[in-house]
């Protein structure tokens, strides 16, 4: 099941110094440094943005759609993520939405409104459906892909509800503008994971989003326009329930299950998923899991410092009314469940043949025992163990380890000294 990945996260080779900072931070061990440059092993990458955060040379990038993609459509609708509101200091949501209309969009639909629908649908699921607990939110695509790669046994815990982004796009296309010609729907994204989930959808054959614009790409122009607006249109409809999805805790507060936890930051998410796997958490009903620290406000395509953005978004959402939607059918005329199952991505598998794989594993352990165990990264692999794996799978060699190489050189140097001593003593070169 090797799905061709069309990733958003990429490397700018010219900027990469080959420093190996990123490799140890990658949660799926998807990066190696080869010939002085990092490379991403495509089918392992989950687009979490961790390498973007940790690269000191800013060589890791997230590729989203260019702004001029708007020109391909005659009627454009912007779908701002809730996190977008937090990028602007003391700017009312109505003003942000009005500015989007002035910059070239014909209409806006708040993803926060769709998040309200998702909250209620999730609460209904928790009440009615007896699937394995805890149920894990599927709103962060990086987390869902992490589960596919590293926690396949938890796939049945993942909530099969469309993301607020997809729900929003469907509302625009099916309900608000069903017959509109030239309609293009654009998500204003905090992260590369959402870009990828439009190209390679999760839980759908096809995404209804036509383009994904990075928040940081549209920010500068929008800032300028915002300064010129003194009478904004009244466009904001979303309530606190949906707006708070943009920061950590927000989704679980909106879902309002007494037995829920929220976890943010990919390392913390991994720890929690490990514990779910060992059935430590079966007393918990719902888990909000976000790859970025602080939730989506911490996404790598945002502008504002995540901690400032989070407290700002909390303030903005508290100032909003709760619309009091009680029933998820109230707002959508269509089913918001997934239309396609997701499967595990067993990219870590060594061989299709289990006996062969066990043999390889034995070999890996043997080599790993000979490596220094420093996980220093100089070989270009994230850990000594992963170098051992690369050696056994034919992608690296033992002397890629600088300590092994040093020992080998010492050995060869010793042999050369020994040979030199054995030179025929027929002539005394010193007393010429």
Partner 1 sequence: MQLNFSIPGDDMDLAGIASSTLKKKLQQIGVDNSVIKRTVVALYEAEINMVIHGGGGDITINVTPTEIQCELVDHGPGIADVNLAMQEGYSTATDAIREMGFGAGMGLPNIQRNSDHMEIHTVPGEGTTVKIMIKIG
Min dist. Cβ of residue 130 to partner 1 (A): 18
How many residues form the binding site for partner 1 (CB under 8 A)?
24
Binding of residue 355 to partner 1 (CB under 8 A): yes
Q: Which residues pair with 158 in a beta bridge?
A: 136
Min dist. Cβ of residue 113 to ligand SF4 (A): 17
290 binds, among ligand SF4, partner 1, none (CB under 5 to 8 A by kind): ligand SF4
Instruction: Using CB under 6 A, pick the residue from 140, 198, 254, 388 that binds ligand SF4.
Output: 140
**Which residues, including other chains, have CB under 8 Å from residue 241's CB and lie 6 or more apart?**
115, 116, 119, 254, 322, 323, 325
Min dist. Cβ of residue 300 to partner 1 (A): 27
Min dist. Cβ of residue 162 to ligand SF4 (A): 14
Angle at which helices 354-370 and 384-392 pack, to 10 degrees?
A: 130
Q: Cβ–Cβ contacts within 10 Å for residue 66, how many? A: 12
In whole angstroms, what is the distance from residue 154 CA to residue 132 CA?
9
- Angstrom CA distances, 306 to 295, 302, 402, stand at 8, 8, 39
Which of 324, 263, 313 shows the shortest CA–CA distance to 137? 263
92 binds, among ligand SF4, partner 1, none (CB under 5 to 8 A by kind): none
Per-residue x/- track, 150-179, partner 1 (CB under 8 A) = x-xx-x------------------------
Piece in contact with partner 1 (CB under 8 A), picked from 99-107, 200-208, 308-316, 356-364: 356-364
For ligand SF4, give the closer residue by CB, 141 or 382.
141
Binding of residue 142 to ligand SF4 (CB under 6 A): yes
193 binds, among ligand SF4, partner 1, none (CB under 5 to 8 A by kind): ligand SF4
Q: List, in sequence order, every beta strand (DSSP E) within 12-156.
A: 31-34, 37-40, 60-62, 75-80, 107-108, 135-136
Binding of residue 10 to partner 1 (CB under 8 A): no
Full DSSP string of 382-427: SSHHHHHHHHHTTS--GGGSHHHHHHHHHHHHHHHHHHHHTS-TTS
Instruction: Using CB under 6 A, pick the residue from 291, 364, 379, 381 that binds ligand SF4.
Output: 291
Which of 286, 332, 305 shows the shortest CA–CA distance to 247? 305
Helix (H) or strand (E) holding 290: strand 286-290
Q: Residues 142, 143, 148, CA angle at the centre, nearest 5°? A: 95
For ligand SF4, give the closer residue by CB, 217 or 375.
217
Tell me the Cα Rg of the chain. 26
Q: Residue 63: is it exposed, middle or buried by C-beta count within 10 angstroms (0-12/13-18/19+)?
A: middle
72 binds, among partner 1, ligand SF4, none (CB under 5 to 8 A by kind): none
402 binds, among ligand SF4, partner 1, none (CB under 5 to 8 A by kind): none
Piece in contact with ligand SF4 (CB under 6 A), picked from 89-97, 116-124, 253-261, 285-293: 285-293
190 binds, among ligand SF4, partner 1, none (CB under 5 to 8 A by kind): ligand SF4
Kind of pairing between the strands at 107-108 and 75-80: parallel
Provide the terminal-to-terminal Cα distance of the chain, rounded to the nearest Å.
74
Binding of residue 284 to partner 1 (CB under 8 A): no
Piece in contact with ligand SF4 (CB under 6 A), picked from 95-103, 275-283, 286-294, 310-318: 286-294
Q: φ, ψ for residue 279 (rounded to 5)?
A: 60, 30
Q: Are 136 and 122 in contact (CB under 8 A)?
A: no
Binding of residue 277 to partner 1 (CB under 8 A): yes
For partner 1, give the closer residue by CB, 354 or 416.
354
Within 174-233, the residues that bind ligand SF4 by CB under 6 A are: 190-191, 193-194
Helix (H) or strand (E) holding 286: strand 286-290
Inter-residue long-range contacts of 364-369, CB under 8 Å, 24+ positions, other chains counted: 364/388, 364/389, 364/391, 364/392, 367/391, 367/392, 367/398
Min dist. Cβ of residue 165 to ligand SF4 (A): 9
Which of 292, 312, 18, 2 shows the shortest CA–CA distance to 139? 292
Within 370-399, the residues that bind partner 1 by CB under 8 A are: 389
274 binds, among partner 1, ligand SF4, none (CB under 5 to 8 A by kind): partner 1
Binding residues vs partner 1 (CB under 8 A):
150, 152-153, 155, 274, 277-280, 344, 346, 348-352, 354-355, 357-358, 361-362, 365, 389
Binding residues vs ligand SF4 (CB under 6 A):
48, 140, 142, 190-191, 193-194, 290-292, 295-296, 299
């Amino acid at each position: 099941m090797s799905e061709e990945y069309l990733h958003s996260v990429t490397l700018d080779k010219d900027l990469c110094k080959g420093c190996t900072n990123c490799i140890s931070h990658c949660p799926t061990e998807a990066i190696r440094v080869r010939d002085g440059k990092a490379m991403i092993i495509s089918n392992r990458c989950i687009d979490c943005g961790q390498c973007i955060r940790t690269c000191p040379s800013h060589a890791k990038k997230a590729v989203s759609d260019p702004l001029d993609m708007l020109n391909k459509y005659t009627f454009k609708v912007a779908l701002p993520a809730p996190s977008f509101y937090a990028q602007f200091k003391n700017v009312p949501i109505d003003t942000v939405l009005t500015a989007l209309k002035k910059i070239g969009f014909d209409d806006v639909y708040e993803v926060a409104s769709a998040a309200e629908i998702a909250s209620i649908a999730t609460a209904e699921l928790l009440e009615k459906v007896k699937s394995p607990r805890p149920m894990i939110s599927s709103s962060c695509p990086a987390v869902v892909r992490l589960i596919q790669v590293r926690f396949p046994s938890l796939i049945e815990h993942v909530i099969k509800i469309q993301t607020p982004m997809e729900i929003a796009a469907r509302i625009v296309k099916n309900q608000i503008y069903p017959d509109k010609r030239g309609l293009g729907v654009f998500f204003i994204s905090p992260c590369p994971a959402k870009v990828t989930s439009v190209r390679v959808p999760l839980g759908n054959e096809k995404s209804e989003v036509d383009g994904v614009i990075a928040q940081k790409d549209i920010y500068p122009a929008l800032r300028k326009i915002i300064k010129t607006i003194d009478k904004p249109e009244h466009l904001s409809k979303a309530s606190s329930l949906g707006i708070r999805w943009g920061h950590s805790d927000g989704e679980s507060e909106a879902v309002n299950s007494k037995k829920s936890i929220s976890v943010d930051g990919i390392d913390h998410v991994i720890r929690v998923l490990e514990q779910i796997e060992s059935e430590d958490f079966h007393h918990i009903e719902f888990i909000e899991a976000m790859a970025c620290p602080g939730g989506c406000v911490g996404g790598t395509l945002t502008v504002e410092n995540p901690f400032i953005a989070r407290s700002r978004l909390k303030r903005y959402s508290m100032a909003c009314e709760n619309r009091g939607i009680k029933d998820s059918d109230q707002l959508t005329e269509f089913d918001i469940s997934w239309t396609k199952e997701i499967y595990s991505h067993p990219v870590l598998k060594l061989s299709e043949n289990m006996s062969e794989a066990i043999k390889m594993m034995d070999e890996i352990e043997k080599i790993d025992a000979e490596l220094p165990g420093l996980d220093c990264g100089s070989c270009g692999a994230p850990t000594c163990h992963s170098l051992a794996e690369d050696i056994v799978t034919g992608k690296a060699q033992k002397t890629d380890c600088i300590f092994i190489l040093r020992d080998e050189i010492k050995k060869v140097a010793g042999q050369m000294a020994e040979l030199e001593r054995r030179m025929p003593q027929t002539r005394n070169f010193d007393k010429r």
